[in-house]
Amino acid sequence: MYQPAEDSYLLQKFVRKYAFGRVLDIGTGSGIQALTAIENPNVKEVIAVDINENVVNRLNDEIKEKKLRKINVLQSDLFENVEGYFNLIIFNPPYLPQDKGIEDVSLYGGKRGWEISERFFNHISKYLFPDGKILFLFSSLTNRTKIEEIINNNLLEYKEIGKEKLAFEELFVYEIFKTPLLRELERKGIENIHYFTQGKRGVIFTGVLDKSKLIKTHFPSKKNLIKVAIKIKRKESKALERIKNEVNWLKVLNNENIGPRLLFYDKEYFVYGFVEGKFILDWIKDNGKEEIKKILIQILEQCFVMDILKVNKEEMHHPLKHIVIDRNNKSVLLDFERCNKTEKPKNVTQFIEFIFRVKKELGAKQIGVDEGDLRKLSMDYKNTYNDITFKNIIKALS
């Protein structure tokens, strides 16, 4: 069991101030934070949890002996056996990087010191009221930048409310809470929201949506859970109105069965059906000649529709991260933030350039590409944008 030390007493100051309503103390150890919280008259209930059975038994004995009220102790690995929502969640995690051969769970936070904290933040949102708060203590030995990255990656905000310098480290106490965006997305029925990836202008999170909640005409008898992606603008990006632009074009292109299915949106974000599958080059390496030819034609047909609509998607000559082939062998184009209206769209001709660039990979699948012939057909198409010249391109690939 971890005995109270400088970190415990630093955190205790803020527990006295912030404890309210329903409180959860994760990794309670000696119970110092939980026992401090029940002293506050504004606290209705405290749940103290610890992975160590001996810790749980010792604290339960102390509660019985002192006839303490408002407190329950559970054995739990983080949130494993926890239920319900809380106004305040307290965590003073093990934060030292793992030393070889030492397995003291009360001291070591994982190989690099932050892995347990990452697990904590990855699951915390579904236990925190929309206006709830987290009191979190960590050390400079843990990697402050990484901790802040983990917090941001879970759509949480933080502010430093306390710190203390010791001989070989500095301790920090953060007050952490849900961002307005996270609260809104959860209000709309999205759960388990986590960072997925980012590009130059946008950041993508994934989540799980109960689609039945979008139907407001009746009360659904069962859930309809789907995985979704949430795209927001990167803070560092200076590009203007990219979210609005992508939403507008997805509305248009979804009518032509192009792009991921747009579900709903606001000024700062939009939500669409997550596409499970492989990026095009990885998919080509794992599939056979006939399947690959069908997919190339399928993508060209989508490019042709966009050309007819006088829409330029951009980046179709290098779409390595912009085309996913799903489990049903359907190609889905992604990332329409640079989409624009033009009299001279280049979707078909750019994708033909991509085909030239992957000649080696196609050749390994016995797919020959006559670059001279295809380039001439591409030029004819560029001058006409008509159905006949497009069909000639398809014939050359068939």
Q: What is the pLDDT, as a whole number, of residue 357?
A: 95
Model-level pTM greater than 0.75?
Answer: yes
Q: Are residues 356 and 261 in the same domain?
A: no
Domain at 371, CATH number: 1.10.510
Domain end marker among 230, 245, 273: 273
Q: State the average pLDDT over residues 120-126.
A: 97
**Residue scoring higher pLDDT (224 or 77):** 77
Residue 195 has pLDDT above 90, yes or no: yes
Q: What is the pLDDT, as a whole number, of residue 141?
A: 87
Beta-carbon contacts of 110 under 8 Å, excluding residues fewer than 6 positions away, are: 97, 98, 116, 118
Q: Are residues 156 and 79 in the same domain?
A: yes
Q: Are residues 45 and 145 in the same domain?
A: yes
| Domain-embedded: residue 1 | no
| Domain-embedded: residue 326 | yes
Q: Are residues 264 and 291 in the same domain?
A: no
Q: Are residues 136 and 47 in the same domain?
A: yes
Q: Are residues 134 and 173 in the same domain?
A: yes
Q: State the average pLDDT over residues 280-303.
A: 97
Q: Are residues 265 and 334 in the same domain?
A: no
Q: Are residues 356 and 293 in the same domain?
A: yes
Nearest alpha-carbon partner for 182 in 196, 166, 193: 193
Q: State the average pLDDT over residues 382-396.
A: 95
Q: What is the pLDDT, as a whole number, of residue 263?
A: 97
Domain end marker among 133, 149, 178: 178
Domain end marker among 178, 204, 228: 178
Q: Are residues 22 and 107 in the same domain?
A: yes
Task: Report whether 14 contacts 162 (CB < 8 A).
Answer: yes
The rounded distance, in Å, linking the Cα atoms of 269 and 243 is: 6
Domain at 211, CATH number: 3.30.200
Strand partners, 25: 48, 90
pLDDT in tens, 296-328: 999 999 999 999 999 999 989 999 999 999 999
Between helices 144-153 and 115-123, what is the axis angle to 10°? 20
Q: Are residues 211 and 260 in the same domain?
A: yes
Please give the structure tokens belonging to residue 105: 């769970």
* Mean pLDDT of all residues belonging to the chain: 92
Please count the structural domains in the chain.
3
**Distance, C-alpha 15 to centroid of its chain:** 30
Q: Are residues 302 and 238 in the same domain?
A: no
Residue 220 has pLDDT above 90, yes or no: no
What is the span of the domain harbouring residue 109?
A: 6-178
